[in-house]
Structure 1
Amino acid sequence: MKSENGYKAGYLNFLENSMRATLPETNLRGNPHINSKIHVWKKTHGILLTILSKSGVGWNDTDKTIEATDKTWEAIIKADPRARPMRSKQWDHYHDWCEIFGNDRATGKQADNNAIVESINELADIITQDTMKDLIKQLASKEKIANADEKVLDTLQGIPELVEDEKVHVAELLVDNHAKLSLFLRLGDKGNLSLAKRLLGGD
């Protein structure tokens, strides 16, 4: 399903059907489950690539960790606070992410082109699932949901107390509960962490 600018239209449906064929009892879906996971992976991969592009930063392929001096880390975190939790973690899937997303980050005009292609692919996914009669309504609600999802994922990415799987699980739970999603977006950092822990605990 890979193409020059990412993945072909309908790849989420392809992944969902493949999972269902292997695990018939699964309740995971292309949206929001697989899409949320890919979103988190892609963002994390992008941050890792940015850090690794800095002078004085190396990669330990044995431990799957980033290596840099304390001074270098201070400068990196000061420039981008999202890098803070990256320092103390092992990134076992880094090479897999490079294969999935590529080794280079798109910039400038290429980045804009990629964004357009992704939007077209998402639109194609909608068309394959719904009739043209409902398309306008779908796009309106999809835009609102997408904006909320983006804010939730960005907020969760900035909570170092949660591991990646926990962030994805919380995102899935919030997507399925609009009331708690709205509350999450209104809370501050401590409130977000508290609500996330309650959701993970089954509350």
Structure 2
Amino acid sequence: MNCDPSELEFDKEGETNMEHDVVEDNITSIGTTPEWTSFRDNLVEIFFNEWRERGAGRNKRKWTEDEDEKLVEALMELVNTGNFKADNGFKPGYLTYLENSMQIKLPNAGLKGKPHIESRIKTFKKDFTVVYDIRYGANSSGFGWNSEEHLVTAPRDVWIQYLKVHPKAAKWKSTHLPCFKELSIIFRKDRATENLAENLEDVAEELNTEVVGETLRDDIQPNPISDESTSKKRKKGNVESLLEAVYAASERMANQFEASTKLLIAAEEDMLLKKKQLNEELSKIPKLTILHKFQVAKRIAKDEDLMILFFAAPTEEKIVFVNVILDNEV
């Protein structure tokens, strides 16, 4: 079949054009638009900030002695308001209260309720629990307390025996806890509740052990006819063991109650001492008349919260404190 030369030329040109079109349509590189790049970078920044706020080691900041002291002051103020203390911890909103309080006491510290203050309170409670158990726990015999150094004291052999059962307490052989008295007021109810629950659990476990042991012994008796004297001795032994368990548990609870009572008495004595020192402290306020001193003393003595705040304040703040009371602003 003969072909027209013009058709051949057209076909060649068409093929050439198609080849060019194919080459031009191939994807040779991939890029992003500026809008997408901006969106991606912003998203990464948001995720990073959220991750940083959640923790990532930020709650492990190094607290200074001054920060610890101010936080304990704020906790004491919080407890004395009576608005945030619960049976086993604190009520919702306590972290906001403490964050605001710390912002006033240490405005440049940048301490947040979460994670900083919350984490530090957990550390306070853990340390207090260990020292409290050393001083007032079931194995506290032989331990003392150096009130000047705020340090647990005990002979070497007492420590050796105690650390066999409580190895995590080793650091308190030489570590000071200057805020133990305040922490005992802040956490004492929590610890008393925990100890009571532990003691009741011990009693229940011991009673259960006695009952199970008795049942097992009854089940393995091959002969229903046993020696009467042997049976009486066995029952007498069971009763004595049960009484010993109950007595030991009640003794532990009595010790805990006594320790809690001592802490309450110490707090009351501290408040009485502050009342006695109140007149002396007010006398240090310059240009305060006798009449005004009497009015301020009467107002502070009626309110434990004001008493605690007044004695915790430095001299400059005490002057402002007195003026606020005289102006009837509190």
TM-score, with length taken from structure 2: 0.31
Q: Which has more helix, going by share of residues? A: 2
Between 1 and 2, higher relative CO (CA 8 Å, sep ≥ 6) is seen in: 1
Structure with larger Rg: 2
